[in-house]
Structures are given as structure tokens and as C-alpha cells.
Amino acid sequence: MKSFDALTTSDIAERAGFSRASMYFYFSSKQEALVALFARTVEALREKSRAAADDPAAPRDAIATAVARTRDRWREHGLIMRVALDQSSNIPEIGTLWTETAEIFIDAITAILVRAGVASHDGPDGARALAHAVCWMIERTFYRASAISPEALDQAAETCRVVWSRVAGIEA
């Protein structure tokens, strides 16, 4: 797994679609470039999460779609996401971006759980509390699997789909 220190400006520039020289025209540091690239990456996750919350499909299908879309983002941007998450305590802008993105995903998970019949109350077995647990389980599972291989990521996505479905009371 590549760390922030091992991540080069060329790595960031390549993923952002810039030449290395152009990157320094727009950004004064590797941290600043990482924040901008991560912001662009999580915006796609936010859009997909909002779509999941509004998905009129049956909960089983909405869960499958949301997990597949999230897997696809991790497949495409796993390196940047892992490095950014590792730096989230050192770079407050990244921590804020990720927390805000997670809240949108938690809202989507909550909406799907409620549609599946999970009670919407404030207790530990309420839809929102369960959505928090599912969201962070997906994040950690995809984080780890995306560092291993595309096949590991596919398997992780299927496991997350099964867990989320079971939390929703849907036979997986």
C-alpha cells in the first residue's frame, strides 16, 4: 500500500489529468493537490449516494446498485482515497470532506433501510444507527480490499451487499 510520503506529485498529477509541471502551476504543495483531487473524487461518491437515497427501486435492488457504484469508485480511485483517508487526521479539509460524504451515504442507507421496514427511531437498532454501522463497515472493507486486488474488491462488495441486505431484513 502506498503511503502519502511515497505518493509522488507525478502520481497525483496523473490521476488529476495534469502534467507534473502543470500541477505546480495550480497547486503549491502535494497536500493542496491531494485535497483538490480528493474533493473531485468524493463529489462523484456524493452524487451516487444522493441517487441511492432517491432510488425508487426495491430496497434489494437499491442496495445492490449503491454497493456496485461505491465499489466502482473505489476501483477507479482507491489509491487516492486510501492515501487521503490516511491523511484525514493531518489534513483537516480531507477529514471534513470525508465526514460530509459519509453523512450523505448514511442518509441514503437510512432511507433504504426505512423503505425496507427498519424502524426509524433513535435507538441502537434504529435505521440511522444501523446506517452508521453499515457505512463505516463498507468504508473499511472497501479500503482494505481496494489495496489487495480488483477481485478482492468484488468479493468485498458482495459481502457488504449481503450484510446491508441482512440488516435491512432482506434475504440475501
Q: How many CB atoms lie within 10 A of CB 26?
A: 12
User: What single-letter DSSP state applies at residue 170?
Assistant: -
pLDDT at 121: 93
pLDDT at 36: 81
Residue type, 7: L
User: Looking at the chain, how many residues does it have?
Assistant: 172
pLDDT at 143: 96
Residues (pLDDT < 70) of the chain are 1-4, 16
Task: Please give the distance of CA 73 from its chain centroid, rounded to a whole number.
Answer: 7
Distance set, CA 154 to CA 19, 74, 140 (Å) = 32, 10, 14
Query: b/e per residue, 27-52, with b = 16+ CB within 10 A?
Result: beebbebbbbbbeebbeebbebbeeb
φ/ψ of 148, rounded to 5, equals: -95, -60
pLDDT at 103: 94
Distance set, CA 90 to CA 19, 36, 71 (Å) = 26, 15, 26
End-to-end CA distance of the chain: 32
Domain assignments of the chain as residue spans, ordered by start: 36-167
The topology under which CATH files domain 36-167 is: Tetracycline Repressor; domain 2 (1.10.357)
pLDDT at 4: 65
Residue type, 56: P
pLDDT at 22: 76
